[in-house]
């Protein structure tokens, strides 16, 4: 889903230490449009359940989580199967 939005498989963006996950998602929404705006649940203010945000390999829902130097954030859609 996000690959189609940005037109490539991966993007790399440097941000300052102390930037929050919410700020990153808002930056992406400004650059790539409304689909990224939907990554934050308007009712809870947290990462929407239909979006998987990984911070250094750990699932993060808290949009106030702050980034440190050399953190890696991955944003994708959760995958299910059976």
- List, in order of start, the domains of the chain with CATH numbers: 2-76 (3.10.20.30)
What is the per-residue pLDDT across 18-44, written as a single tens digit (0 to 9) for each?
999 999 999 988 888 867 778 889 899
3-state secondary structure of 71: coil
Q: In what order do the strands lie in the sheet with 73-76?
A: 58-59, 52-55, 73-76
Beta strands (DSSP E) in the chain are 52-55, 58-59, 73-76
Residue 8 to residues 5, 24, 56, 74, Cα–Cα distance (Å): 8, 18, 21, 14
What is the per-residue pLDDT across 64-80, written as a single tens digit (0 to 9) for each?
999 999 999 998 877 76
Q: Which pTM value belongs to this model?
A: 0.82
């Amino acid at each position: 889903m996000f690959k189609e939005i940005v037109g490539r498989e991966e993007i790399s963006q440097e941000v300052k230490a102390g930037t929050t996950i919410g700020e990153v998602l808002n930056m992406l929404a400004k650059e790539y449009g409304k689909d990224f705006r939907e990554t934050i649940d308007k009712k809870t203010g947290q990462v929407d359940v239909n979006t998987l945000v990984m911070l250094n390999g750990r699932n993060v829902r808290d949009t106030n989580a702050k980034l440190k130097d050399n953190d890696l954030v991955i944003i994708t859609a959760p995958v299910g199967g059976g």
